[in-house]
Amino acid sequence: MERNPSALASTVRSPLRKHGIRLTRQRELLFEIINNSHDHLNADQLYELAKKQDAKINRVTVYRTLKLLKTEGLIDELDLMHFDGEQHYYETRLKQPHAHIVCLRCGSVQEFFGEPLQRLREQIESGFGFQILVNRTEVGGYCADCQNTLPSEETLEAGPARRKVIPSKRRSSPKK
């Protein structure tokens, strides 16, 4: 990943400064990786990507930075329907609101951006007099590829406790 200092300043440093986060090279690097990733990264993946750019970074720095960025509202921690057990993934909050659509069989993750999500938010705020600060939406089911390979009775099974999960490499769609 090439680092353009002027682009880095606007996309990474500005939100960090706005939240009063002390700027360090490693914090900037970690936030930049999360912000520019086209995948939902877990802490180990983030550490490995960061280590390629800064051999001195350590796991403690990664975990502390994730906690700080999450506390400051700059990233979200996702479980993505617990497809990979208790694994957590991270993404920036700088993107527009979206839903995560997770295949419960192959683990593919797609993102849905659209007006229906905004209308739902408005309905909740006006109908309940509720001020939404954080909003995460996950939908679990079977992607088109997996639907074509499932026995017909498996698609009718309800709930995660009854699904037959076949482990495979998680796929993500490009972020918008």
Give the 3-state DSSP-derived string for 41-95, with helices as H, strands as E and coil as C: ECHHHHHHHHHHHCCCCCHHHHHHHHHHHHHCCCEEEECHHHCCCCCCEEEECCC
* Residue ranges making up the domain that contains 78: 1-94
Domain boundary among 94, 121, 145: 94
| Contacts for 54 with CB less than 8 Å, ≥ 6 apart | 25, 26, 29
Q: What is the pLDDT of residues 51-104, one digit of tens each?
A: 999 999 999 999 999 998 898 888 888 887 777 777 888 888 777 788 889 899
The reported pLDDT for the residue numbered 2 is 47
Q: What is the reported pTM?
A: 0.66
CATH number of the CATH domain containing 108:
3.30.1490.190
**What is the rounded average pLDDT of the residues 12-18?**
67
Number of domains in the chain: 2
Ranking 14-18, 53-57, 138-142 by mean pLDDT, the lowest is 14-18
